[in-house]
Amino acid sequence: MSQKILNEINTEKEEIFYFLLDILPSVRTNNEIAKFWNLFKGNPSTFHNSHKIPNSISKMESLVLFFKFYQALYLEEKNKAILYIENFVNNEVFDEFYLLSVLFGIKENLDVQSYFEIDDQYFSNLLKTYYFIKLNDFDKAYNILIEINSINRLSLLKEIFYLQCAIEKGLYEESENIFTFLLEINKNNNPLKKLYVYYLIRKGQILEAQKYLAKNKIKINTIKDRTLFLYNLLETKQFDKAISFLKKEGKTDEEFFLLARLYHVIGLLDEAFNIYDKLDDTKFAVNKMKGIIYFQLGKMDKALLAFNEEISKRYVDTDILKIIKFLKIKKRWNNA
């Protein structure tokens, strides 16, 4: 089956499309694109500067349009990104790179629904499928995919979408079969391996996911990768490893809050407090957690102040209200 699908990839556009989606490891027909994409992907802002667009790429107008779209998208120039999709529409180009641009638009939550309805029913259904996958409406995604089941174009992408629906609908046997097939033709595909880890977690096989991550030496790059990795560590109660990881790799406030929570749970109260103290107390329940630390240390007056701060800055939490009530009574019943 894998060879049959590989044989179906018979246009340069389709091959580049897969390469850009990281589904196949290399572009056989155009190495310049591979080199360019590797540089550009890591730093989209260099598009106009140091890295000139190779001739072979500049000849492919819709590919260049995709690169421009990608650059705007990752520089968070969302309106500009939409305009590049409009360019495709104005030029009446609804090829693989149009599809790719809208897919990335959906991925980054751009308002691109109006670009789903195109004459190419197959592409239209693929876009809608991914849209519903993003919305976690897997029944709808699956039904739309079934409508184009008999069409054999961009079958690898269709398989991946089908796999996604199968994972979320709990069709594990089918998921396993598709993974076997996809991993056979994508032996070094990191995103696919990460999706496999995700699948194992969804199945509840946390230890297996942990082993798979370690065995395959999967690189952890993005926040989503880190979430995947951390979830494994936390579910298996490997708090010390999660702490080491977050100390080294933590980048977002959410991750620092998690680091503080981990310090807290293993009893390193000073370390936890220092982080809580630096975070935005309107965004995170840091006053609540600081109150708990004061409570643990027996500093009840400070605990009361911190809990009151939490409910004045964030929201009323029944747990906190109970603690506040208790602290007020405790003052009087201190010797009990």
Partner 1 sequence: MPDNLPNLIYRDLAKNASDLSDYDLFRLTDFIKSTKSDFALDLLLISFTSCYNKYLEQIESIETNNENNNKNILKLLSLRCKNLSSILEYFEDDNLINFKKELMDIISSLISNNDFIFSQNFFINLSKIEPLHCLKLLRKNKNDLTDELSSLLISIEEEFEEYQHLSFEVEEIINKNISDFKFDFPNFNYLDFI
* Alpha helices for 236-334 (secondary structure H): 239-249, 253-265, 269-278, 286-296, 300-313, 318-332
Q: Does residue number 144 form part of the binding site for partner 1 (CB under 8 A)?
A: no
Q: Is residue 128 near partner 1 by the rule CB under 8 A?
A: no
Binding track over 240-269 against partner 1, x by CB under 8 A: ------------------x--x--xx----
CB 73 within 8 A of CB 108: yes
Minimum CB distance to partner 1, residue 110 (Å)? 13
Q: Which of 9, 60, 99, 230 binds partner 1 (CB under 8 A)?
A: 230
Query: Does residue 296 interact with partner 1 by CB under 8 A?
Result: yes
**Rounded Cα distance, 154 and 46, in Å:** 30
CB 179 within 8 A of CB 152: no
What's the CA gap between 18 and 193, in Å, rounded? 16
Q: Are 167 and 142 in contact (CB under 8 A)?
A: no
- Which SS3 state, helix, strand or coil, does residue 110 take? coil
Q: Binding of partner 1 at residue 181 (CB under 8 A)?
A: no
For partner 1, the binding residue among 86, 117, 277, 319 (CB under 8 A) is 319
DSSP 315-327: ---HHHHHHHHHH
Stretch of residues binding partner 1 (CB under 8 A), selected from 53-61, 78-86, 115-123, 130-138: 130-138
- Catalog residues that contact partner 1 under the rule CB under 8 A: 21-22, 103-104, 107, 130, 133-134, 136, 160, 163-164, 168, 190-192, 194-195, 198, 201, 222, 224-225, 227-228, 230-231, 234, 258, 261, 264-265, 288-289, 292, 295-296, 319, 322-323, 325-326, 329-330, 332-333, 335-336
